Structure 1
Amino acid sequence: MRLINVDTLALEEFFDHNRPRYAILSHTWGPNEITFKDFQGSRSSRYRGGFNKIDGMRRVARDQGYEWIWIDTCCIDKSSSTELSEAINSMFSWYEQASVCYIYLEDVPPEDDIAARRSRFRRSRWFTRGWTLQELVAPRFVEFYNSSWECIQTLPASQQLAHGSSSGSGRRRLEYRPSSRLSFAELVADITRINRKVVRKDTDFADDITVYSVAEKMSWASGRETTRKEDRAYSLLGLFGVNMPMLYGEGNKAFERLQEEILKISDDQSIFAWGYGLPPLPRGGLFAQSPDDFAGCRGITVREEAESPHYTLTNKGLHLGARVTNEQPDCRLPFYAAINCQEEFSSTTGSFQNSKDTLAIPLCRLGNRTVRPPFTAPVSLPLVSFGESWPQFYISNCEIPRRFDLFYDSISISFDMEIVDRSVVTTVETYPLSVIHHSAHDRVLLVFNRWETPGEASTTLLVRFRLSGELPDIALRLGVAAATEETDHFCIERHEVATIEKEKSLSEQMFLLKETLWEEETEWDSARLKPVVRRREAQRYKSRRVDLFLEVRPFG
């Protein structure tokens, strides 16, 4: 590890046994950064714009009593692939072992009110970059600085600047007036969507690296960007305690390799929870394509009391034993395999979830293979939904082949209900389990697919509503039939029910109308239901998507 002397600006190499105390920089790259080659060259490079950042940091560090600093732009020889690979694999530990990390926000001016809703602080580019995630969570102490190298605040909050508060570069603390809602740590957690305990630095993250589930940590990286696609995976190595070689040019394969490496050292099955809390994705498979697929997994925790049998990744796929729901008699519907994690706190509902529920991933049989199908997502189900046995099966880790027309020549039906006034109408349950129940922005999205090759196919959806007051619940029975490539039939029936009789409903003969859709409004005490058909073609896949929009609105 090379460090810069704050007095001489000379680079010196140190090894673990003789490494001195040092301060480390977290920042975003600009167009005129000083590289390792520049730093070794003539002094003229010190007049470039990028040197101001180096000079500002060394002044702050020297004022605080540090003799050595580390900056990635000029302390790593990126022309050496071997050195770059070693540095990337060591980066997390370098930030963890630093005495302090200075977070320099070049796009935040001194006059910025960081607590304001549209502050430059909230919109800083630093919060959007992939590498800065580990640079926030790994260090024991961090200090935020604006573009003038004035200290904004420290984390943890109790870690005050130990070297006074007199004026001078890096030593003047700006007064932060927190809103009634957010402390500074809560503000940073709100911006980054990182667990508040991690942001507050309650404990050393490196000591608690397995406390937070794989899915939750992946969710912290969702929405972040890197210049090179592979770095979205490489920037997360330390977060999961894994090492792997750098292979620039492999694209999304890097993120798949990262997940494979995590599987080798962890029995945390939340790695398979990707897609949870999101609208169903038009692809299946064993692994996620990027951290963005975990955006809905912020509140996912490992079920400590859950049995967790071993699993292995082979050339055939993932060999797994798991409790499963009964395989559906309708081969178009997936069954679900329980994984040892749960949603402890739902960011959608803002409440703690039932501890007797568990997450489950959708699976279906494809010949002699078991696959995770497209247009499906994990769901949270009661433990009583699963059998007591632990069947063994292989989940294919290959992309679902195009030759299987049952997926790619499919019709995707979404049933999109807008609940205008939730104080009047709420949804209670849906059936079948393969229907994805996604609540966000006062909408419920239900999606299922016709997976057969061309030929007549039909299915039934059931949704139970509850109206405020003493009225009985009602269930809407949505029948869909796709008779040909061009013809679809829809019908909606309304029934007053106490509960959905699931097995009986599934086996009932479908009632299909010849008309396209029942489009009349129906009254239900103080609410009315109005379905509307919307059709659109899915360009990427050989499928059609038909949206049924059901408006649930009180009278008046």
Structure 2
Amino acid sequence: MRLIHTETKEMRIFEYPDIPRYAILSHTWGDSEISLQDFESNRRDYKTSGWAKLNEGCRIAAESGFDYFWIDTCCIDKTNSVELSEAINSMFYWYQEAAACFAYLSDMPAGTVVSGLDSSFSRSKWFTRGWTLQELLAPSDVIFLAEDWTVIGHRSKLAPLIAEITGISTGFLLGHDLDEASVAMRMSWVSKRKTTKEEDIAYCLLGIFGIHMPLLYGEREFGAFRRLQEEIMKTSDDQSIFAWLQYDNLVPRQNAVKRHTYSIMAYSPALFHNGGNIVQSKAPEVEGYLRGIRTPTVFNNKGLQLSLPTIQKQNRISLAILNCRMTNREEYLAIVLEDVSTNGGRYVRVERDRLIPVHINVILETAKYSDISISKGKFEHQAQKEVMDYSRTSFTEKVSEAPFYNHATASIPTNEPLYEQEFIGNTEFANMIFPEPNAYPYVPDFQLFYGLDRAGREYDSRKDATNFIPDNFPSWPYELTEHDSRQDVTNFILEVQRSVPAAMEDPQIVNTNFVTPSGEPYDLNTLSQSEHQPPVESRYNLRSKRLSR
């Protein structure tokens, strides 16, 4: 390990266990960073920002009582692939063992107030980079510095705000064992972060999962991330690693289409963006009473062989039950598999935009363990789909984005007609929701539905509205104004009337108590294209829901 003496600026190499006490720097790279070769050169340009960063880092480390300082720009020989691989595999440990970690936020103006998600601190690029995730979590504490190298605050004190910024709970920010977080949850922490080299989005997670593996730049993101997942599965039986979702935009739909079906393995951590509320869960009743033989997980040239509780459905479709749940939910999560082999037993993942909640009682009554082989690469086959004509329905505004549990997530823009197009995954709208007797086979709750081209189009949800995040954040979407929600509810209801007039006569709709944001009754019968009345909300509420297929 190379360390720089904070006074003499000389670099020394230390071997474990004879590594002295040192401070370490976390930062985002600029255009003029110095390399090891620059540091060792006799032609040093001290006026560049890279040298200024090194000098200021040494200064603040020395003022804090440290003789040695580490910075990744010049303390690693990046021209040596062996050393680079060893360094990246050791990086989490180096940050973990540092006596102090200084996080330099070059885009944080000095004297700026650190509060709220709109602050310069919250918007700093430092919170968007892949490598800074482990630099946030590994040290015993992190001292944040503004652009003039003055102290902003400590991670321990700023933990509640950092939790809002990153989606990482304060417990893990304050030192809880990262292994207590499910694989899906840890993946979600990096799902919105970026790296300059695409493979690094996988390599920056090595320390988060305690994994060591060689670096193969050129294998692309999907290759690096696949290898990472394989290494994780060698040491963990946490099946939330399969609880990823891929959402597509609206795509053309035909009666018979070529549908992409995918491996059980994700090709990017971005597919775990909804994993922040997923927890590993092993119920004794499931482990002890389900039928079937359990076999170890095995990788071979055909894919991944493992045992999972499955529920056989129609048309070669099965639900594979994972040992994970959503936080504060009873149901296990399941993925949809399709048998594509002639003799049976060869599966691919389909419906990649869905995680199906399955109640424990349904699992115990109908599931059994199956030894299955699942493709770990992309596979295509022909599949018939029901044609759903949305040509009479259009929307012109984007629904406000907000976090949801597994029944729904943030929405996408829909500024186009929906003729011969389907809703896939993350395509959601603020829709009027009305109860219907239970018709959903996986969860013992009633169904929520709203008809588009016919009444009864189904939505996945739950009866207990207190489980919805918007109920805890009443400013979204219930204070429905055009400015706040970007959704003109009046026009939306008019679209309902125009598209599905029969649905508007449904007693459940007629009896729904619509009110204005001020609490005044709202008469649906007075709506017309010529009237622009105040936005409305319902006691059943306007919520964002995903179509079930």
2:239–2:323: 8 Å Cα contact kept in structure 1?
Answer: yes
CA–CA distance in structure 1, aligned partners of residues 192 and 105 of structure 2: 19
Aligned to 1:268: 238
Q: What residue identity is the alignment partner of 1:297?
A: G
Determine if contact 1:276/1:296 at 8 Å carries over to the other structure.
Answer: no
SS at match of 1:527: helix
Query: What is the CA–CA distance in structure 2 between the aligned matches of 1:288 and 1:153, rounded to whole Å?
Result: 37
Q: Percent identity?
A: 37
Shift of 1:375: 4.7
CA distance in 2, matches of 1:38, 1:133: 27
Q: CA deviation at 1:80?
A: 0.8
Change (3 A) 1:59 1:414: farther
Matches within 5 A, 1:106-125: 106-125=106-125
Tell me the matched-pair count: 423
Aligned AA for 1:328?
Answer: K
Q: Does 1:189 align with 2:166?
A: no
Shift of 1:51: 1.1
The more displaced of 216-225 and 104-113 is 104-113
Distance 1:6 1:218, change over 3 A: same
SS across alignment from 2:262: coil
Secondary structure at the residue paired with 1:218? helix
Query: Does the 8 Å contact 1:277/1:438 carry over to 2?
Result: no
Deviation at 1:250, TM superposition (A): 0.9
* CA pair 155-280 structure 1, distance change in 2 beyond 3 A: farther
Partner letter of residue 253 of structure 1? G
Aligned ranges 1:91-240 → 2 under 5 Å: 91-157=91-157, 184-201=158-175, 203=176, 208-240=177-209
* Maintained 8 Å contact 1:284/1:374: no
2:455 match: 492
CA distance in 2, matches of 1:414, 1:364: 27
Match of 1:253 among 223, 241, 253: 223
1:340 matched residue in structure 2: 323
* Whole-Å separation in 2 of the counterparts to 1:275 and 1:413: 25
**How many angstroms apart in 2 are the aligned matches of 1:77 and 1:299?**
39
| CA-atom RMSD in angstroms | 3.7
Output the CA distance in 2 between the equivalents of 1:135 and 1:117.
Answer: 21
- Answer yes or no: is 1:524 the counterpart of 2:506: yes
Once residues 216 and 88 of structure 2 are traced to their aligned partners in structure 1, the CA distance between those partners, rounded to angstroms, is 12
Of residues 272, 289, 292 in structure 2, which corresponds to 1:294? Answer: 272
Aligned residues of 1:280 and 1:375 also touching (Cα < 8 A): no
Kept in 2, the 8 Å contact 1:23–1:100? The answer is yes
CA contact under 8 A between 2:261 and 2:348: conserved in structure 1?
Answer: no
Amino acid at match of 1:132: T
Q: Which TM-score applies when normalising by structure 2?
A: 0.69
Could you say if the C-alpha distance between residues 229 and 474 of structure 1 is closer, same or farther in structure 2, counting changes exceeding 3 Å? closer
Residue in 1 aligned with 2:530? none
- Note the 1:366-381 alignment, pairs <5 A: 366-367=340-341, 368=344, 369-381=346-358
**Residue aligning to 1:394:** 373
Shift of 1:336: 1.0
Partner of 1:12: 12
Alignment of 1:383 with 2:360, yes or no, is yes
Cα deviation for residue 185 of structure 1 reads: 0.8
Q: Which amino acid aligns with 1:21?
A: R
Please state whether the residue corresponding to 1:156 is helix, strand or coil.
Answer: helix
Name the CA shift for 1:276/1:493 in 2 (closer, same or farther; >3 Å).
closer
Question: Is the CA contact 1:278–1:296 (under 8 Å) kept in the aligned structure 2?
Answer: no
Is residue 321 of structure 1 aligned with residue 311 of structure 2?
A: no
Q: Which runs of 5+ in 1 are unaligned?
A: 158-183, 345-351, 419-435, 450-462, 468-472, 480-489, 500-516, 530-550
Offset of residue 380 of structure 1: 2.0
TM normalised by structure 1 equals 0.68
Deviation, 1:37, is: 0.6
Q: Secondary structure at the match of 2:24?
A: strand
CA distance in 2 between counterparts of 1:241 and 1:413 reads: 49
Distance 2:154 2:14 in 1: 28
Match of 1:311? 297
